[in-house]
A and B are shown apart, each in its own frame.
Chain A
Amino acid sequence: MEFLKVNHLKVYYPIRSGFFRRVVGHVKAVDDISFQLNRGETYGLVGESGCGKTTTGRTLIGLIKATAGEILLEGKDLAKLNRRERSYHRKDIQMIFQDPYSSLNPKKRVLDIIAEPIRNFEKLSPQEEKRKVQYLIERVGLHPDSIYKYPHEFSGGQRQRIGIARALTLHPKLIIADEPVSALDVSVQAQVLNFMKDIQTEFQLTYLFISHDLGIIRHMCDRIGIMYRGQFVEEGASQEIFNNPQHIYTKRLISAIPNVDPRKKQEQIKLRQHVEKEYKLSWQRYFNAEGKAYPLKRISDTHSVAIL
Chain B
Amino acid sequence: MRANLNDSQQIAKDVSQSPSSLFILWREMIKDKLALISLVVLSCILLIVYGSALFLDQDKIVKVDLLSIYAPPSAEHWLGTDYGGRDILGQLIIGARNSFTIGLLITLLTGFIGLAIGLIAGYYGGIIDNVIMRIIDFILVLPFLMLVIVFVAIVPKYNVFTFILIMSAFLWTGKARLIRAKTLAERELDYVSASKTLGTPDWKIMIREILPNLSSIIIVNLTLNLAGNIGIESGLSYLGFGLPESTPSLGTLVSYATNPDVLQNKWWVWLPASLLILVIMLCINFIGQALKRAADARQRLG
Across the interface, B212 reaches (CB within 8 A) one of A107, A121, A166, namely A107
Contacts of A93 in B (CB 8 A): 197
CB distance from B129 to the nearest CB of A (A): 15
A97/B199 contact (C-beta < 8 A), A107-B212, A107-B213, A109-B18 known:
no
From residue A151, how far is it (CB to closest CB) to chain B in Å?
A: 9
What interface size band does chain A fall in?
Answer: 20 to 34
Which of A24-32, A98-106, A205-213, A220-228 is found at the contact surface with chain B? A98-106
Q: In residues 148-207 of chain B, which contact A (Cβ within 8 Å)?
A: 189-191, 193-201
Supposing A102-B190, A107-B213 touch, asked if A148 and B18 sit within 8 A by C-beta, the answer is: yes
- Chain B interface, DSSP helix/strand/loop, else mixed: helix
**Shortest Cβ gap from A167 to chain B (Å):** 9
Contact between chains at B195 and A98 (CB < 8 Å): no
Instruction: Say yes or no: is B32 at the interface (Cβ < 8 Å to chain A).
Output: no
Check A90 for interface membership: any CB of B closer than 8 A: yes
Please pick, from B18, B198, B200, B213, the residue contacting A106 in the complex, using a CB distance under 8 A: B213
Knowing A102-B190, A105-B191, A150-B297 touch, does A94 contact B197 (C-beta < 8 A)? yes
Contact A116 B198 (CB under 8 A): yes
Closest B residue by C-beta to A64: B193
Q: A98–B197 contact, CB under 8 A?
A: no
A93 to B196, CA, bound (A): 12
Asked if A95 is at the interface (CB within 8 A of a chain B CB), the reply is yes
Q: Does B15 reach chain A (CB closer than 8 Å)?
A: yes
Instruction: Point out the residues of chain A lying under 8 angstroms from B209, CB to CB.
Output: 105, 108
Contact with A along B82-119 (1 / 0, CB 8 A): 00000000000000000000000000000000000000
Check A273 for interface membership: any CB of B closer than 8 A: no
B16 within 8 A of A: yes
| Interface size range of chain B in the complex | 20 to 34
- Interface residue ranges of B209-243 to A (CB < 8 Å): 209, 212-213, 215
User: 6 smallest A-B Cβ distances: which pairs?
Assistant: A103-B190, A107-B212, A117-B198, A105-B191, A102-B189, A97-B190
Q: Which of A58, A87, A109, A163 lies in contact with B199, CB distance below 8 A?
A: A87
Find B197's partner among A90, A108, A152 (CB 8 Å cutoff).
A90
Residue among B17, B190, B212 having the largest count of chain A Cβ atoms under 10 Å:
B190
Chain A nearest Cβ from B122, distance in angstroms: 17
Would A90 and B199 be within 8 Å (CB), given that A145-B15, A148-B15, A148-B18 are in contact? yes
A125 CB–B CB distance under 8 Å? no
How far is A116 from B198 in the complex, measured between Cα atoms in Å? Answer: 7
Q: Could you tell me the distance between the alpha carbons of A117 and B196 in the complex, rounded to whole angstroms?
A: 10
Cβ contacts under 8 Å, B215 to chain A: 107
A91 to B199 alpha-carbon distance, docked (Å): 8
A40 and B164 CA atoms in complex are apart in Å by 63
Q: Measured between alpha carbons, how far is A97 from B191 in the docked complex, in Å? A: 9
